[in-house]
Structure 1
Amino acid sequence: MSRNSRRAERHRAKRMEKHRMMQRARSVSPYRRAAAQGEVTACYVNEHWRDNGMAAVFVLRGAPGRGMSMASYLVDIWCLGLKDAWGRLQYSRAEFDKVIERQLLTNALVRLDIETARRIVFGGIRFAKQNGFRLPHKYERWTAMLGPEPDPESLDMSIFGKDGKLFFVGQLSDLNERLIRSTPQEFVRRPDVEWALEADADSAEDMGEAGYDSAAWEAACDALVDERAADMSRRCRDWLTSRNQVPHPMLHEAWRGVLNAVSDFDEERIADLDAPDISLGAWQDFEYRAANFIDADPDDEDRIESILDAIRQAMAYMRERGVPFDFKEEYVRVQREAISSTAK
């Protein structure tokens, strides 16, 4: 082979090698490329994630001038594990800061070290798998932002579960969508499971679809509210009379609304009602929430104002005598017993 031929062959080999390198670079997932860029430069989580059982983690990864990416994870610490994982490629620090600012309007966020973030997210993956829950679609794209997934057996799982059990809080429809190896009926009967359904307008439909007698469940809970409202309104009337005040004629209905609102609040918000420094706005928010549980025509302003007057008497009683904290626990117990005993 002539010298020119050898030179041409070397050039051809170099071009082919360069082409192969470019092909390999293009074949790497853009998510993996983003995960390999720089380091985690910011990481936040909701402040009370350990207390309320739900962690929302926000991560920014990369290096200024070389491309940055954002990822967010929602992890149910008490039961479902990793519920959601999403993010954005080619993100800026300014855009990330805006996301955090919007979150701060409704949630207190605190900085989180990357190792704890990995423990929450990758532990959430293991927790979901071992308890038979479906993981988010293509979650691996975004968990790569936290670095390589560790050996599941090496993970510290002590933060997961509640009091040694799974504790599900949510709608039956959500449970039905996420369970892989069992039905909701089978799941709630497990000895290692505690649960509390979140009541809303769709609860009855959700329960019916899941095979429960929703009418019996609603009747049991309504009877509890009515019984407790009768007791609280009697106590409140005596208290008002002792203060030379006239009890409102709608006091019983007011206490029904108040107790339904208490059952709808999480434990942290209920405790806030008893705080000595609670704001006027927080009390007003509770007033209107309680009023929403009482039937009234939205255009009947006189009835609505009358309802609010009655609720204010109930709340004045609570300010002095205390919030009925135990009702939430009692409501959940009756709810659980009624649903378990009325499966179709």
Structure 2
Amino acid sequence: MTPEQEQHIAELRQRQLSPKQIARNLGLRPAEVKAVIQAQAKATTQDRIARGELPPLEQCLINEHAAQQLLDPSPEASIEDGVGGLAQVFVVRREGMRYLVASYLVDYWCLGVKDAMGPQRLNQTQYTAMVEKAYDNFHQSSRVISLAQAQAVVLGAVDYAARLGLAPHPGFEQARSHLGVPEQPLPALSFGRDGKPYYISGPYDDPQHVIACLTQSVGEGNFDYLVAAEPPMSDW
């Protein structure tokens, strides 16, 4: 695909021609044209985000237990949730008929953002399937929250982890701009467990590094941790 062909595709697309019509016009395969259109749309979206021009907000979601722990805590709420202080946050924006979805897996007990992805351009079916799968994995329902609450959970957890010497997942930098810039002071949330960091190791963590950071930042005895045992070596 030459730059001239890509430019022609962009011009014809602006005239509301379908991929099949463009393909016939330029003597290309529809699949080739569709791939270029998708790449151009993604580049346009990234340029807009880089300039701070975000599409309209559709909705924000979080798993129900994390909402109870962070956004409306009460003495009656159980700390144990079966997922070790994790919050799955989605920030969804709308661009035409597509959803722009960024996801943030937040460890609000210690690590901050453990994983981040997006924004991805999804249709209605793809978006619904992604959300259902995410919260089915938590065995929890989701709750619709405000953008300010989503910002408070994600950015607050990142700041909390930074004070412990822990950096967010590398994918967070790309997904961060999708949150937007807070327009007002964000709600002050309580991170950690029982007033101090509680680290639960995951399969992709470096437990020694995390524990060393916690020891240096808050001191031995001022945090709790649970490190999974190494699996037994195979004889094969």
Q: Tell me the residue number matched to 2:130.
A: 99
* Larger strand proportion of the pair: 2
What is the alpha-carbon distance in structure 1 between the residues aligned to residue 193 and residue 116 of structure 2?
23
Please give the residue correspondences for 1:310-325 in structure 2 after superposition, counting only pairs within 5 Å: none
CA contact (8 A) 1:69 1:89 kept: yes
What is the alpha-carbon distance in structure 2 between the residues aligned to residue 118 and residue 35 of structure 1?
16
- CA-CA distance at 1:93 after TM superposition: 2.9
3-state DSSP of counterpart to 1:174: coil
Q: 1:119 to 1:169 in 2, by over 3 A?
A: same
Unaligned runs of 5+ in 2: 1-42, 70-78
Q: Tell me the residue number matched to 1:182.
A: 212
Query: In the alignment, residue 46 of structure 1 is paired with which amino acid?
Result: N
Does 2:176 align with 1:159?
Answer: no
Query: In the alignment, residue 38 of structure 1 is paired with which amino acid?
Result: P
CA contact (8 A) 2:86 2:105 kept: yes
- CA-CA distance at 1:166 after TM superposition: 0.7
Does 2:92 align with 1:60?
Answer: yes
Q: Which has the higher contact order (CA 8 A, sep 6+)?
A: 2
Query: In the alignment, residue 128 of structure 2 is paired with which amino acid?
Result: D
CA contact (8 A) 1:122 1:149 kept: no
What is the alpha-carbon distance in structure 1 between the residues aligned to residue 196 and residue 64 of structure 2?
23
Correspondence for 2:60 among 43, 67, 70 = 43
What is the alpha-carbon distance in structure 1 between the residues aligned to residue 218 and residue 149 of structure 2?
30
Does 2:227 align with 1:197?
Answer: yes
- CA-CA distance at 1:175 after TM superposition: 4.1
3-state DSSP of counterpart to 1:162: coil
Q: What TM-score, normalized by structure 2, do the two folds share?
A: 0.60
Does 2:141 align with 1:118?
Answer: no
Cα RMSD of the aligned pairs, angstroms, is: 3.5
CA contact (8 A) 1:71 1:145 kept: yes
What is the alpha-carbon distance in structure 1 between the residues aligned to residue 45 and residue 59 of structure 2?
25
CA contact (8 A) 2:149 2:186 kept: no
Please give the residue correspondences for 1:234-313 in structure 2 after superposition, counting only pairs within 5 Å: none
Q: Among the aligned pairs, what percent are the same residue? A: 24
Q: What TM-score, normalized by structure 1, do the two folds share?
A: 0.43
Find the structure with the greater CA-based Rg.
1
C-alpha offsets along residues 295-323 of structure 1, whole Å, 9 cap, x if unaligned?
xxxxxxxxxxxxxxxxxxxxxxxxxxxxx
Q: Tell me the residue number matched to 2:172.
A: 139
Query: In the alignment, residue 61 of structure 1 is paired with which amino acid?
Result: R
- CA-CA distance at 1:70 after TM superposition: 0.7
* Larger helix proportion of the pair: 1
Q: 1:133 to 1:186 in 2, by over 3 A?
A: same
CA contact (8 A) 2:110 2:198 kept: yes
Q: 1:60 to 1:188 in 2, by over 3 A?
A: same
What is the alpha-carbon distance in structure 1 between the residues aligned to residue 149 and residue 219 of structure 2?
33
3-state DSSP of counterpart to 2:205: helix
Q: 1:64 to 1:35 in 2, by over 3 A?
A: farther
- Aligned pairs, how many? 174
